[in-house]
A = this chain, B = another copy of it.
Amino acid sequence: MMKDMDIPDIVIRRLPIYARSLSYLSSEGITTVSSSELGARIGVTAAQIRRDLSYFGEFGKQGKGYNVQFLLNQIRDILHLEQQWGVALVGTGHLGEAIAHYGGFMDKGFDIIALFDADNRKVGQELAGHPIFHTSKIQEKIAELGIQVAIVAVPASAAQEVVDVLVSAGVKAILNYAPVSLQVPPDVRTRSIDPVGLLQSMTYYLNPEKAQKNGRVLR
């Protein structure tokens, strides 16, 4: 296996997609899969999958495909998913509520164990079974719980300040829902969720004339 620094981040970003697809295959009772079958499910080429996995070792036998459960376990191991990661969620507005209620985090290795909001009216209330703390408690609670992972669901104007506090509290991985580019030290990872940007990158391909002609608003 290559050293961490030699593996492109874009490869690391694809591993969860492979894991998800393998997990579906496993739940369907499928025990072996070829790189081309796996690629077709995900929308990448077989060569891409083989190249990505080759960074980490040999997982399949030529002509025999991959053992689904073995490869899934290996990828989960590479991504450090064989444990639950405690997660802090900052921001409990509509979006934070949806995140806190989403059942998909827990069984994928992420347990939202600390909630924070700047609004004093929310502090002390429960959301999805957890108490909401004031953002002034971020440092204290994150240190207490040894949390390394945080989700930021605050307005854009507050995001960098919240991130600075999270970083100083020892958080090393931040999933950011605020529409802003964050500044963090080199040892901290961030990923941003930007639905508006994703929509805007698709309208490039659309026909604006058609929309102008037919677009009406239903009120």
A99 to B204, CA, bound (A): 22
- A206-B173 contact given A85-B215, A109-B200, A200-B79, CB 8 Å threshold: yes
**B181:A42 contact, CB within 8 angstroms:** yes
> Chain A 114-149, CB within 8 Å of chain B: the 1/0 string?
100000000000000110000000000100111111
Closest B-chain residue to A9, C-beta based?
A: B201
Within 8 A of B (CB), among A173-207: 173, 175, 179-181, 189, 191, 193-207
Within 8 A of B (CB), among A3-27: 4, 9, 12-13, 15-17, 19-21, 24
A80 to B93, CA, bound (A): 31
Size of the chain A interface, CB-CB below 8 angstroms:
84
**B173:A218 contact, CB within 8 angstroms:** no
- A191-B181 contact given A97-B98, A146-B213, CB 8 Å threshold: no
- A16-B194 contact given A206-B80, A216-B146, CB 8 Å threshold: yes
**B16:A200 contact, CB within 8 angstroms:** yes
A212 contacts B by Cβ under 8 Å: yes
A83 contacts B by Cβ under 8 Å: yes
**B109:A146 contact, CB within 8 angstroms:** no
A1 contacts B by Cβ under 8 Å: no
Which residues from chain B contact A111 at a C-beta distance below 8 Å?
217
Which residues from chain B contact A180 at a C-beta distance below 8 Å?
20, 24
Within 8 A of B (CB), among A71-89: 78-87
A95 contacts B by Cβ under 8 Å: yes
A residues contacting B by CB (< 8 A) are 4, 9, 12-13, 15-17, 19-21, 24, 41-43, 78-87, 93-95, 97-99, 101-102, 104-105, 108-111, 113-114, 129-130, 141, 144-149, 151, 172-173, 175, 179-181, 189, 191, 193-208, 210-219
